[in-house]
Amino acid sequence: MSTVNTVTEQLTAAGQAIEHDSFAIIDAEAGRHAYSAEQWPIVRRMIHANADFEFNGLTDFHPGAVRAGVAAMLRGGTPVVADVEMICSGLSRPRLAHFGMSTHQFISDADVIAQAQAQNTTRAVQAMRKAHRLGLLQGAVVGIGNAPTALIELVRLIMEDGVRPALVVGMPVGFVSAAESKDLMAQIADVPWIVIRGRKGGSTLVVAALPAADDDPGHVADLRHQVFRLCGPHDPHRHPHHQGRAHAVLHAPPHEFHQRGGLLAD
């Protein structure tokens, strides 16, 4: 199996044409929506990922979510912590590398499995605790596409242990506690989040919603500008790496952002 994943990049003209037409169809059929200009491209990618227009409505954003996600990405070196490996393999590796982001998931680790069995809880809970023990959650982008118990544990870590991820993309799927876990997350004011209300969710939706998937050239350019103002030279101690990173991104060759991408391979 190849270790290179450029699956989220449209590298061919044929692939770009298909994606262009797909988004045009979505725009034509989606009808009215209540999302901001910075939120809609994310919802549109989610509709694209599952061919399901219900995400126009079910998707809900903390007001600071999109900027927080892009800021985390531009900061450089931000970890992405996921509940399952499918999310990690769905993200664009060249894009992650460009922003110095690393991916982490612990669901299949022997110590996680052993602790879950010993404590009569789930692997997903123990995997979140392991990420916390390793110091990975602080300032991280956390993507949960599978296990409601992972999101519930993350909410507990935020409320009780003061954990502060940069952004939580909370989209567990299921019939037991999934809707409730997302309603819990959406009550948090101190940590930005994007959630899908109700039962729906999944790895492909998390991949579509994660800021590393963001690829609309105009959108990224706008956000680069906003983020540079937002967390730029005025607050250098908070984001020690961001200045050089933001500078590098602002001065990156435009073609790096003009290559259309998205979840779908061509």
Which is nearer to a copy of itself, 11 or 221 (by Cβ)? 11
CA 124/CA 141 separation, integer angstroms: 17
Nearest-approach distance from CB 26 to a copy of itself, in angstroms = 7
Number of Cβ within 10 Å of residue 247's Cβ equals 13
Nearest-approach distance from CB 135 to a copy of itself, in angstroms = 17
Question: Which entry of 20, 33, 48, 255 is annotated as an active-site residue?
Answer: 48
Binding site for a copy of itself (CB under 8 A): 1-2, 4-7, 11-15, 18, 21-22, 25-26, 48-52, 83-86, 88-90, 103-110, 113, 116-117, 120-124, 146-147, 149, 173-178, 198-204, 207, 264-266
Nearest-approach distance from CB 20 to a copy of itself, in angstroms = 9
Which is nearer to a copy of itself, 49 or 71 (by Cβ)? 49
Which is nearer to a copy of itself, 36 or 108 (by Cβ)? 108
Which is nearer to a copy of itself, 1 or 34 (by Cβ)? 1
> Residue 143: what residue type?
G
Nearest-approach distance from CB 40 to a copy of itself, in angstroms = 17
33 is catalytic: no
Using alpha carbons only, what angle is made at residue 93 by residues 91 and 94, rounded to the nearest 5 degrees? 130
Helix 217-230, helix 242-250: angle, nearest 10? 150
By the 10 Å C-beta count (0-12 exposed, 13-18 middle, 19+ buried), 26 is classed as middle
Which is nearer to a copy of itself, 36 or 117 (by Cβ)? 117
**Alpha helix positions (H), 231-263:** 242-250, 255-258
CA distances from 265 to 91, 113, 210 (A): 11, 33, 17
The closest alpha carbon to 184, from 209, 158, 203, belongs to 158
The closest alpha carbon to 214, from 248, 158, 252, 259, belongs to 259
The helix (H) or strand (E) run that includes residue 125 is helix 123-133
Nearest-approach distance from CB 261 to a copy of itself, in angstroms = 13
Give catalytic residues, as residue numbers. Answer: 48
